[in-house]
């Protein structure tokens, strides 16, 4: 996939997450977090694949998310606290699938969006405009 096209798609997914978050309904926040987490995962995996950070079989493994984050942190593309926060939001989504009556607050979406934008800026040198 073309990197520019991928970035455009990821920005659209981030915008969709924000639009869903704005509805102030828990089911839409859950959906927003799912979209956002999938977007972050694609951002990370595409970067890892195009920079030879992981072998093909590793990219599709369950441990790939954390492994890629570790390697990107080792490249000084993200700070340790950003890696921890991205992992935390990823785990919140895992918790959501396990627990009943699990609420996802708006601030979780907002903070994860900031981290997704940081990943786009540092990994792909892409900065969203105010319109985006």
User: What pLDDT sits at residue 48?
Assistant: 87
Distances from the Cα of 62 to the Cα of 14, 23, 55, 97, angstroms:
23, 32, 14, 16
Residue 131, domain member (yes or no): no
Q: What is the mean pLDDT of the chain?
A: 84
For the chain, the domain total comes to 1
In a domain, 72, yes or no: yes
Asked if the structure places residue 79 within a domain, the reply is yes
DSSP for the chain, please give it. Answer: --HHHHHHHHHHHHHHHHHHHTT--HHHHHHHHHHHHHHHHHHHHHHHHHTT-S-HHHHTSTTHHHHHHHHHHHTTSS-HHHHHHHHHHHHHHHHHHHSSS----HHHHHHHHHHHHHHHHHHH-----S--
Residue 130 within any structural domain of the chain:
no
Q: Is residue 103 part of a domain?
A: yes
pLDDT at 132 exceeding the cut of 60: no
Say if 107 falls within a structural domain.
Answer: yes
Judge whether residue 22 has pLDDT over 80: no
- Looking at residue 26, its pLDDT comes to 67
60 within some domain: yes
| Percent of the chain predicted with pLDDT > 70 | 83
What's the first-to-final CA gap in the chain, in angstroms?
Answer: 22
**23-76 per-position pLDDT tens digit:** 766 688 888 999 999 999 999 988 988 888 877 666 666 678 888 899 999 999
Residue 129 placed within a domain: no
Alpha carbon of residue 101 to chain centroid: 23
CATH number at residue 20: 1.20.120
**Residue 39, pLDDT score:** 93
pTM: predicted TM-score of the whole model, two decimal places: 0.85
Measured CA to CA, the distance from residue 130 to residue 127 in angstroms comes to 10
Domain limits for position 108: 3-124
Looking at residue 84, what is its pLDDT?
94
């Amino acid at each position: 996939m073309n990197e520019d096209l991928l970035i455009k798609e990821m920005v659209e997914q981030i915008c969709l997450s924000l639009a869903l978050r704005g509805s102030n309904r828990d089911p839409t926040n859950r959906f927003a977090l799912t979209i956002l987490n999938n977007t972050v995962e694609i951002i990370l995996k595409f970067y890892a694949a195009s920079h030879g950070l992981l072998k093909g079989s590793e990219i599709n493994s369950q441990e790939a998310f954390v492994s890629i984050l570790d390697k990107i942190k080792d490249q000084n593309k993200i700070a340790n606290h950003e890696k921890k926060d991205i992992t935390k939001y990823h785990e919140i989504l895992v918790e959501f699938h396990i627990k009943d009556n699990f609420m996802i607050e708006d601030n979780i979406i907002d903070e994860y969006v900031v981290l997704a934008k940081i990943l786009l800026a540092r990994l792909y040198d892409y900065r969203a405009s105010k319109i985006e």
